[in-house]
Structure 1
Amino acid sequence: MTVWDRPEPPARPVPLDRERIVAAAVALADEGGLEAVSLRKVAARLDAGPMRLYGYISTKEELFDLMVDEVYAEILPEEQPGDWREALRVHAHRTRQATLRHEWLADLLGGRPTLGPNALASTEFTLAALDGLADLDTVRRAVETVSAYVTGAIRREIANVRAERATGLSKREWQRAHGPHVTRMLATGRFPTLAKAVHDGREVDADESFTTGLDWVLDAVAAKLTQPPS
């Protein structure tokens, strides 16, 4: 029986329910990452005994599932856009925005699918956007391809955010600190294509990088959808 199917225990003198438990866990994760979340710490945040939480949640993994599903409620758009491309674009940007608010989500994206109601509604949203435009297998592969890009791009962005926090150096400061080494390596002539990219390439911020990459992936999906069946 999943955590969503399991009934909650009877009420006790100190009010407690899964909603309050998950809210406390999300707050702890927002403050200190997933390593800051444990049933003991959540119980302390709620001024309850740790053993009481086991009446609602059996493992920390179940708690993580509930936390992810809570954030999926933020990701799910209120309305389904009429255009499939706009629907997938909106969903992708809302996923990124939610992860920037809850950095720990990046560590849980891309694994086994979560089965909570909000996560299932999110999957329904993306599949419904493409329903009827191609055969079912093509639709599923298209959604998986967009999801893989979004997950990878978000994880890379969050990794950069964490690196800046850990080192205390902004991207520009890090580049200046490592510039002499890069200059020496490029001067060897061993990396001519990389040298051209470094010297002549245009620097873009995270927003533009994510949006451009997403548009390229959606272009590829559009091309696949218009291909005649083989």
Structure 2
Amino acid sequence: MAGKAAEPGVIWARPERTGRGPKPAFTRADIAAAAVRIADAEGLDAVSMRRVAGELGCGTMSLYNYVPRKEDLYELMVDAVSGEHELWEPGGDWRAEMRRVAQQTRELMHRHPWMTRLMSPVYGFSPNALRYLEHCLACLDSLEAPYGMKMQLVGMLNGCVTSYVSTELAAAERTRSLPWSAEQEDAVRIAYLGSQVATGAYPRMAAAFTEDPGPIDLDGAFGLMVERMLDAFAPKSD
């Protein structure tokens, strides 16, 4: 006889612990905190049920009574970090509020670099994530737009921030792996690029480079990205 097929479920709709036995020795918050500590120190790939169980001082199989799947563990981690968002009283300027949201999210992802790999709508409806989303919508109260469009704005903003931070983290990781300084690397690449542009094969790029925008300002570029994205949702009168 075939076994019963697995059924979809949401960890937040399940009891904290399944099975019989003594009073639980730890909570989901404890499990999430342990997993976040491991990921912060060693990266997401270091997180496993065995490692988390070892961090908590319990058996791996015991942990499955609390967290049935590794995907549930990831969801606990995302929810724990989502709880770090500061939820303030909106001041009525939706653009200023969204700038603050974007900057805070960027800082959070730099504190927890592995978060960029888990940013997904699948993990977007945990308790802390829902509080964060409700806060974002409150920040947009002064924007005259349907809620569907406001949800799009929040989703696109999070996507832009995630992509930007992913690029920042990748660049930083590559720099750390180089056997020479980042300045030496940049000098060599700029020299090569200059030699290619000088051939005349790329006239538009040559014209762009003659404008000499100066050194790349990552903070300024981040702010500009956010402003351009918000422009797409601003009423014509803004």
Is the pair's TM-score, using the shorter chain for normalization, greater than 0.5? Answer: yes
> What is the rounded CA distance, in whole Å, between the counterparts of 1:99 and 1:72 in structure 2?
10
TM-score, normalised via structure 2 length: 0.83
For the 8 Å contact 1:110–1:151, the answer to whether it is kept is no
State whether structure 2 residue 135 is matched by structure 1 residue 125: yes
State whether structure 2 residue 74 is matched by structure 1 residue 61: no
1:64 deviates by 0.8
TM-score, normalised via structure 1 length: 0.86
**Unpaired runs of at least 5, structure 1:** none
Residue in 2 aligned with 1:71? 81
Greater Cα offset, 168-177 or 214-223? 168-177
State whether structure 2 residue 227 is matched by structure 1 residue 215: yes
Residue in 1 aligned with 2:145? 134
> What is the rounded CA distance, in whole Å, between the counterparts of 1:127 and 1:170 in structure 2?
44
Runs of 4+ residues over 6 Å off in structure 1: none
Residue in 1 aligned with 2:4? none
1:69 deviates by 1.0
Residue in 1 aligned with 2:101? 91
> How many residues in Structure 1 have an aligned counterpart in Structure 2?
226
- Counting only pairs closer than 5 Å after superposition, residues 20-169 of structure 1 correspond to structure 2 as 20-131=30-141, 133-167=144-178
For the 8 Å contact 1:126–1:143, the answer to whether it is kept is yes
Letter paired with 1:72: S
> What is the rounded CA distance, in whole Å, between the counterparts of 1:171 and 1:42 in structure 2?
36
State whether structure 2 residue 205 is matched by structure 1 residue 205: no
> What is the rounded CA distance, in whole Å, between the counterparts of 1:195 and 1:172 in structure 2?
23
Greater Cα offset, 173-182 or 209-218? 173-182
Larger radius of gyration: 2
What is the RMSD computed on CA atoms of the aligned residues?
Answer: 2.4
> What is the rounded CA distance, in whole Å, between the counterparts of 1:81 and 1:55 in structure 2?
44
Structure (1/2) with the larger helix percentage? 1
> What is the rounded CA distance, in whole Å, between the counterparts of 2:180 and 2:24 in structure 1?
45
For the 8 Å contact 1:106–1:158, the answer to whether it is kept is no
| CA distance 1:102–1:11, shift in 2 (3 Å) | farther
* Identity across the alignment (%): 35
| CA distance 1:214–1:11, shift in 2 (3 Å) | farther
